[in-house]
Amino acid sequence: MLQKNWKYLNIENQIVINKISNIYSSDKKFIKKEGNLDEGRIEFKSVQISDDVWGADSDITIEWKKLEASHFHLGKIVNESIQNYALINVTTSKIEKSLWHLSHEMTIWYGNRQQMNRRRYFVSKVIHATFFCELTQRLFHIHANCLANAFDYYKEAILNFINSIQCHAN
Ligand SMILES: [Zn+2]
């Protein structure tokens, strides 16, 4: 499929994603949304389902939570996320620190996971981005899963998604 981008607008929660590849569904019934301006999450799923047990080849979840800036330490929060995902067998393979998202410091880590679903064995890849928006005082986590054998196809779309998030009004 030729990749084109669509734009996701969630004005009430001040979240805009400017570049979502059409390999992720724009159909509202596949977009799970909950929460409010201070705390919430939105989940997107890929159109392609190559295995019914696994479900959508890939999904991306964006989560945000209001936090006081004085309580904020990016390195610590990233370490906590790595430890939490380790509990469900996600192994971190690469950490990219000191990236910038708009004016916010961002860390992205990559990982992989082996799991059993209904007695079947699946290998998946993970991309996880974390940044704090000082302007709206919200912590953002973006977590993407993808079947390992489809990762090359999804990776760029996941990174474009992350890099095109508008977390505060201009
Ligand atoms: Zn921001």
Q: Is the pLDDT of residue 170 over 70?
A: no
pLDDT tens-digit series, residues 71-80: 789 999 999 9
**Cα 23 to averaged position of ligand 1 atoms, centre (Å):** 26
**Please, are residues 14 and 136 in contact by the beta-carbon 8 Å criterion?**
yes
Counting residues of the chain whose pLDDT is more than 90, the rounded percentage is: 92
- The pTM (predicted TM-score) of the whole model is 0.95
Quote the tokens at residue 34: 């909950």
131 CA to middle of ligand 1, Å? 9
Tell how far the Cα of 125 is from the centroid of ligand 1, in angstroms.
Answer: 27
Could you say which architecture CATH assigns to the domain 5-166?
Answer: 3-Layer(aba) Sandwich (3.40)
Give 133 Cα–ligand 1 centroid separation in angstroms: 4
